[in-house]
Structure 1
């Protein structure tokens, strides 16, 4: 099935919004959900729903439902809450098929160690075929300055993931789209995209970003 929601951003709770999508209507999910770490940036900004795990299982249940059989979901996660994420992924029905390290040239924080990487798991729904040319499980992460979002991801690091795990013209979903980096990467690589964002502020930022970049490319 083809989703009627394409190349747009929805403002609202992603669990409720995904319930409006047809089953098996999404080709690839690439998302950076709250890490459940009560994150607070140096500028004091926080991430909505980062203080509780209530949304975690229902959200991934819906992601599994809307994803096509044999397709992939790539999810960032908080390393010190990996038990909660693993339980949610497995409970939803995902198979865990890979792990990616995003290597940063800076430390986002220092305590017991200097934390200079991000991480994500590659999840599969059903019998997913490996890509013809697998990409490296270590990807360089350029600093975005977090100007648009407190945990903003660099578009250039997301493009190869979309190219590897979603066919051209396919639909990429990001249920926690923040400032829209996943959506920009999908558009840049010739894929359709759908974002969902709970925060009104970030929804407006992502919408403006995608609209401005779309007009600039026209």
Structure 2
């Protein structure tokens, strides 16, 4: 499917399923208006039911993914990226290395606690990233 993508309108209103880095490599440069991503948090998550999140146990995908996001995002565009708070150093390094500028921080309150070991984590956090002109 992605081999035929040559212009921004070729993928409008289309769901692409696959490796995100590979799919973005097939997209044209400066073609995407906005990116919202909730990537693996690099915490080796395992739910109470035993489910795991793919690539949550390694950061090999992090820089290539954000490099491609920066490449496909239009100049002056924005990306919102969730992140794992205890891995913010890895995420921030990847964002900066790709060329993004952190311009805002967003906190979303949840109706449940995802952890309560030391604190009750009842929120999710994301950064607003800019591809500056």
Q: Report the counterpart of residue 27 of structure 1 in structure 2.
A: 33
Structure 1: which 5+ runs fail to align?
A: 128-218
CA offset digits 1:127-177 (Å, max 9, x no partner) = 4xxxxxxxxxxxxxxxxxxxxxxxxxxxxxxxxxxxxxxxxxxxxxxxxxx
1:54 to 56, 60, 64: 60
RMSD: 1.0
In 2, Cα distance between equivalents of 1:19 and 1:3: 16
Structure 2: which 5+ runs fail to align?
A: 1-6
In 1, Cα distance between equivalents of 2:84 and 2:69: 18
Q: Figure out how many residues of one structure are paired with residues of the other and give that number.
A: 127
1:98 maps onto 2:117 in alignment:
no
Alpha-carbon offset, residue 105 of structure 1: 2.3
1:38 maps onto 2:19 in alignment:
no
1:113 to 116, 119, 123: 119
Structure 1 stretches of at least 4 aligned residues deviating more than 2 Å after TM superposition: none
In 1, Cα distance between equivalents of 2:30 and 2:9: 9
CA offset digits 1:41-80 (Å, max 9, x no partner) = 1111111010000000000000000000001000000000
